[in-house]
Chain A
Amino acid sequence: MSNATLKELSVQLAAGACSSVELSRDFINKINNLNKVLGCFITVDTERTLAQAKSADAQRAAGRAGPLTGVPLAHKDIFCAKNWLTTCGSRMLANFVAPYDAHVVERCDAAGMVTLGKTNMDEFAMGSSNETSYFGPVRNPWNRDVVPGGSSGGSAAAVAARLAPAATGTDTGGSIRQPAALTGICGLKPTYGVVSRYGMIAFASSLDQAGPMARSAEDLGMLLNVMAGHDPRDSTSLERPAEDYNRSLEKPLLGLRIGLPREFFAAGLTPDVQRAVEAAVAEYKKLGATVVDISLPNMELSVPVYYVLAPAEASSNLSRFDGVRYGHRAAEYTDLMDMYKRSRAEGFGAEVKRRILIGTYVLSHGYYDAYYIRAQKLRRLIAGDFVQAFKQCDVIMGPTSPTTAFKLGEKSADPVQMYLSDIYTIAVNLAGLPGMSIPCGFDGGGLPVGLQIIGNYFDEAGMLNVAHQYQLVTDWHQHAPKGIA
């Protein structure tokens, strides 16, 4: 049962083949068996989960069930969930019980979905390997010596290990797509503004966007249908009519124009990843798509631009953690300034401090124009490259990450090497475009490879169609790690 997709679970629950309580128990048992080894969850609360499942079953009995009523999912620990410990992977919030729900959590609850727990993540979503979490690393279910990617590493590994049929994630520079690729699952970062950021602990507000992580394109659409929607409490939440993101899944791909950016297939891409992505493109040609050679000439600037803008926004957002109103406060201090400094020094981990210092520096007097303003100008150039590219193609494809999953500890000594893991995903956030990753093969060591699909603004339904048609003729998304399922 716990190997079923969201879609299948939805059908089984509707047919009365199982109850939400049975289903939730099944997942909780699996979590209890595997979480010690994999570290996917920071918090599970069986009682709370089963109470929610019971109420979902009652809703169904009363004839008030929607498509996902009673279906369990996991939430990344960046989302505030009322009365749940909400840590954001940080010592700073190790004791923080959220007093309210994030919009995303509210929406999932309202749809009758059942929360299995809160998933592990890089501290404050800053990382690409899930190694910066205060609660320890997450291990990749495909090979426990390698990382699951990050920052939504716990969500990705939980879905890959079948500990949850789906999970929520967030993506500031690749944090949904890169871990999805490294764990062989599907993940979608919507157009900026489609999902409300209310109650989602802020990292870089102009880039942060929440999205679904699951095992098929169709499942992503089902969950996005729940997560998306206008919310006046987020000033950047867009007012758009509700849409069914799965409305065009069945559309044939004949005539689809796929743009392949030269810059995505240049130096730095490992041969195994290149082979798998090229094989996926060949499959698309069989489905009737044509390939267009395109260029994103300013792509290489996206990593430096991101590592000015994201830390700048983070340094401002994370100034709220001062040990006064909530979060960690140092045990000993001499005065108020000392209390701030010690509380923050103790509460934040090394990578978070590093980024706060970068951000503080680039925003400080004398450096603001040379770094921050210059990066904002380059951001416009990078976004403009995509506008030009989408004049020639309907979707853009390439690798999600230049490598498959790497060994724990392999990149933690050199931050720049770690940052380059997101070289193909960051530009999408800077432009605010939707992007997704789906499994498209394995490397020589049996680790999954992700295909990145980038769509034009608000074309999530088109991207899901493109991904779904591929998943009808291939089975990469159905592979499970050894010993799982």
Chain B
Amino acid sequence: MALTLDDVQRAAHLARIAVDDAEAGATLVQLTRVFGMIEQMQAVDVSGIEPMSHAQDLALRLRPDVVTEADQRDRFQAVAPEVEAGLYLVPKVIE
């Protein structure tokens, strides 16, 4: 499998990272090396093996459905780029 510039641009769009053409070219060279190494995986027969998503097979704990967090809006918004009246400001998305 050979990666292309289109693959890089598509992944960059999905990841919401601006990449210009020069950067995409350099990234393609690096990613091609990394995927060359990753290709080793394809040589192994994996039929019948269950995917392992986690080091310990844990069941998620349940907790009572009650409020546990105090209101810390002001503290959390103190580190936000732009807020007004307790709301996060972003560019207009609906005309």
Contacts and interface: CB of A to CB of B under 8 A. Distances in A.
Interface of A: 95-97, 99, 192-193, 206-207, 232, 235-236, 238, 298, 300-301, 303-305, 307-308, 315, 319, 322-329, 333-342, 344-345, 348, 353-354, 356-358, 360-361, 364, 370-371, 373-381, 383, 414-416, 419, 430-432
Interface string B22-58: 0000010011011111111110101001111111101
A109 to B, nearest CB: 18
B86 interface: no
A328 B41 CA distance: 37
A95 to B, nearest CB: 8
Given A345-B17, A431-B55, A364 B11 contact: yes
5 contacts: A236-B54, A333-B91, A353-B17, A364-B11, A378-B49
A333 B89 CA distance: 14
Contacts of A342: 18
A300 B40 contact: yes
B41 A345 contact: no
A345 B78 CA distance: 23
B17 A344 contact: yes
A357 B41 contact: no
Contacts of A308: 38, 41
A99 B33 contact: no
A357 B38 contact: no
A341 B18 contact: yes
Given A193-B56, A358-B31, A377-B51, A364 B37 contact: no
Contacts of B15: 315, 319, 344, 356-357, 360
B52 A380 contact: yes
Interface of B: 7-8, 10-12, 14-19, 27, 30-31, 33-42, 44, 46, 49-56, 58, 60-61, 63, 72, 75-76, 78-82, 88, 90-93
A235 B33 contact: no
A337 B13 CA distance: 10
A322 B16 contact: yes
Contacts of B91: 333-336, 338-339
B72 to A, nearest CB: 7
Nearest to A97: B79
Given A99-B75, A337-B16, A357-B12, A324 B88 contact: yes
Contacts, number: 165
B33 A305 contact: no
A345 B88 contact: no
Nearest to B75: A99
B81 A358 contact: no
Given A300-B40, A378-B41, A364 B58 contact: no
Contacts of A364: 10-11, 14
Contact of A341 (B17, B27, B63): B17
Contact of B37 (A232, A307, A353): A307
Q: A-B pairs with the 10 shortest C-beta distances?
A: A432-B55, A376-B51, A329-B81, A380-B52, A341-B18, A192-B55, A345-B18, A377-B49, A377-B46, A340-B16
Contacts of B63: 232
The residue among A338, A341, A377, A432 with the most chain B CB atoms within 10 A of its own CB is: A377
Given A206-B53, A364-B14, A416 B78 contact: no
Contacts of A348: 17
A204 to B, nearest CB: 11
Contacts of A95: 79
B62 to A, nearest CB: 11
A376 B44 CA distance: 13
Given A99-B75, A301-B44, A360-B15, A336 B52 contact: no
Nearest to B82: A329
Contacts of B54: 206, 236, 432
Given A304-B38, A375-B41, A380 B49 contact: yes
A27 to B, nearest CB: 29
A368 B42 CA distance: 13
A304 B51 contact: no
A172 to B, nearest CB: 12
B83 to A, nearest CB: 9
Given A354-B31, A357-B11, 9 more contacts: A192-B55, A301-B40, A304-B38, A305-B41, A307-B37, A319-B15, A364-B10, A374-B41, A375-B41
Contacts of A377: 46, 49-52
B94 to A, nearest CB: 10
A372 to B, nearest CB: 9
A414 to B, nearest CB: 7
B56 A354 contact: no
Nearest to A346: B18
A371 B38 contact: yes
A416 to B, nearest CB: 5
